[in-house]
Structure 1
Amino acid sequence: MKLGLSSYSFRPLLASGAMGIEDVFGWLSANQAEHLEIATFSFARPGEEAAYDLTADAEVLSRLQAQTKQTGIPISGICLGARFAFVEPAERQEQIELVKRHVELCNRLEVGFLRHDVVNWAHRLGSAGEFEGAFATIVAACQEIADFAVSQGVTTSVEDHGFFMNSSARIKRLLHGVDRPNFKFTVDVGNFLCVDEDALVGTRASLADASFVHLKDFYVRRTSPGPGWLETLGGQFIRGSVFGFGDLETRMILEAVVGSGYDGFVSLEYEGAEPTLSACQTSLGNIRRMLAEIGG
């Protein structure tokens, strides 16, 4: 496996101006990270995340390419939001074209993996009927994108992200519906909690379909501890933590990843309240220690 970080981990420092792209790559190099996965809105100005289009940001792309060349640290994948349901047909097609532009960007940057969403991250399932009504539209959009991505040498995927297209069973149903060999699962070991699926169980159920893996940890509470916690679909409360410090069975999760035979890119995706750089450094150390103990 190749262990690196998602640019999302550095978002607070990038947004405040405390770090620039060059600083991120310098930190990755100093901490022996093997790759950087791009979450596109990481580079947006605060308040402009929803409208940000990395393919149109020539300055950021130039700096990213310069840093990969200078440090030898590759960009492993690109992640972006997309909305194929609960929007008007014209907007749906605009979203499909946006994702296709990022597929082309992957090809240009020699990046093999692209993760896209299918609905707004915050959209919460209203009823089982709502999901059934949107399913065919989502499948068709994913098929169109995956078919386009074949010509670009790119594997596309969805992630257990948000509150709608989440849970191992629901995403596996989508994979079956799309039925394309280059359409896979970005397995985020913690995000299953958003829909109250056990993180270890969800991870174990999903790894056979994984094209990419995100590592993270969460604190989990049954009742609200106060501001700054995310409420899950079933009414629990979660907050990001240093990997190994939270309530997930992180060692058992890593054992599942290693035991599955997965040997691709693995990204630490830190989103906690602890200071970013020390939290990322400690998380990397914990992951490496656990993997060494496991033999992975």
Structure 2
Amino acid sequence: MKLGLSSYSLYQAMQSGQLTFSEAIEWAADHGAEHIEIVPLGFDLNKNPELIDVIRQTAEAKGIEISNYAIGANFITEDEASYEAEIARVMKEVDNAAALGVKLMRHDVASRSDISINNFNSDLPKLADACRRIADHAAQYGITTSVENHGYYIQNADRVQALVHAVDRPNYRTTLDIGNFMCSDEESVVATKKNIGIASMVHIKDFYLRPAGQNPGRGWFPTSSGNYLRGAIAGHGDVNMREVLRVVKQSGYDGYLSLEFEGMEECRLASEIGLENIRRIWDEV
């Protein structure tokens, strides 16, 4: 197991100008991260390809691996031309992932306001086809692509499984976010047990949970069934972190664990504490 950090965890500091992206990589390495996951918020490698070398050289200088490249995508489009354009765009991002030297890449798949199972069943063949074509493109680089359980529409464990099995490629799996299952009102331990066998990457995220009808106000967002969540420092929230990490460890998973913090606390302190908590709990379970 290699514990590291998603660059998204430090986005608060980068957005405010307190850290550059290179400094975020250096900060992660200096605080015990063994790898950094690249999430291109605030920059575009297609428009600024020179950043690829900057990222690689910074990571190499600090002795930290680049584990994963994670981007947005949506194959629910108005017409066939837009669908093909989105596939082509994501394929270009696969090329960027290869240039970064990563062997893992997460791309989003779909978003809808109506997240019904009927829509999911209707959309599944076309979503699977897009992901299959992208996975086939990634195979030439030895890259495994993946879907993350987020965005409400393809979030719960069964829908993720359905997509992965429909794509039916050995290099298409899931980035398993242990906290994100809560957004679709699934219990993290149960959902992790279901999907750890198809995980190429594991995100460690924590949330505070409050029931529907008790909206705590600013900083909280609704789950798909109307409960409320707020991002937490890993180990401080309502995810059963000890049991989830026990499930991951006992499954034999030996890949990257990536802390993804998205709470209201100062992001560097929160990331530092989160990394400490994850490593301590992992060693204890």
TM-score of the aligned structures, taking structure 2 as reference length: 0.96
Question: Of the candidates 259, 264, 270, which is equivalent to residue 250 of structure 2?
Answer: 259
Counterpart Cα distance in 1 of 2:233 and 2:267: 9
Map of 1:205 onto structure 2? 194
Q: Is 1:127 the equivalent of 2:116? A: yes
Map of 2:276 onto structure 1? 285
Amino acid at match of 2:128: V
Q: Is 1:178 the equivalent of 2:153? A: no
What SS class does the counterpart of residue 146 from structure 2 fall into? strand
Map of 2:209 onto structure 1? 220
Counterpart Cα distance in 1 of 2:118 and 2:102: 37
- Higher relative CO (CA 8 A, sep ≥ 6), structure 1 or 2? 2
Change in CA separation of 1:259 and 1:209 when aligned onto 2, cut-off 3 Å: same
- Contact map agreement 2:242 2:281 (CA 8 A) in 1: yes
Map of 2:97 onto structure 1? 106
Q: Deviations over 1:186-242 (max 9, x none)?
A: 100000111111111111111000100000110000021012211011000001001
Q: CA deviation at 1:109?
A: 2.0
Q: Deviations over 1:74-96 (max 9, x none)?
A: 21110111111143222221211
Counterpart Cα distance in 2 of 1:104 and 1:58: 11
- Contact map agreement 2:177 2:204 (CA 8 A) in 1: yes
Q: Deviations over 1:125-166 (max 9, x none)?
A: 343322222111101101111111111211010010111011
Q: Is 1:193 the equivalent of 2:186? A: no
Q: CA deviation at 1:291?
A: 1.2
Q: CA deviation at 1:72?
A: 1.7
Gap runs ≥5 in structure 1:
45-52
Counterpart Cα distance in 2 of 1:224 and 1:62: 45
1:156-175 mapped onto 2 (5 Å cutoff): 156-175=145-164
1:1-296 mapped onto 2 (5 Å cutoff): 1-41=1-41, 43-44=42-43, 53-120=44-111, 123-222=112-211, 223-294=214-285
Amino acid at match of 1:267: S
The count of aligned residue pairs is 283
Amino acid at match of 2:224: L
What SS class does the counterpart of residue 262 from structure 1 fall into? coil
Change in CA separation of 1:26 and 1:127 when aligned onto 2, cut-off 3 Å: closer
Q: CA deviation at 1:18?
A: 0.8
Amino acid at match of 1:146: A
- Contact map agreement 1:184 1:211 (CA 8 A) in 2: yes
Runs of 4+ in 1 over 6 A off after TM superposition: none
Q: CA deviation at 1:68?
A: 1.5
Percent identity over the alignment is 40
- Contact map agreement 1:34 1:73 (CA 8 A) in 2: yes
Amino acid at match of 1:212: M
Change in CA separation of 1:243 and 1:90 when aligned onto 2, cut-off 3 Å: same
Amino acid at match of 2:20: G
Map of 1:50 onto structure 2? none
Q: CA deviation at 1:62?
A: 3.0
Gap runs ≥5 in structure 2:
none
- Contact map agreement 2:104 2:145 (CA 8 A) in 1: yes
Counterpart Cα distance in 1 of 2:184 and 2:166: 21
CA RMSD between the two structures: 1.3
What SS class does the counterpart of residue 22 from structure 1 fall into? helix
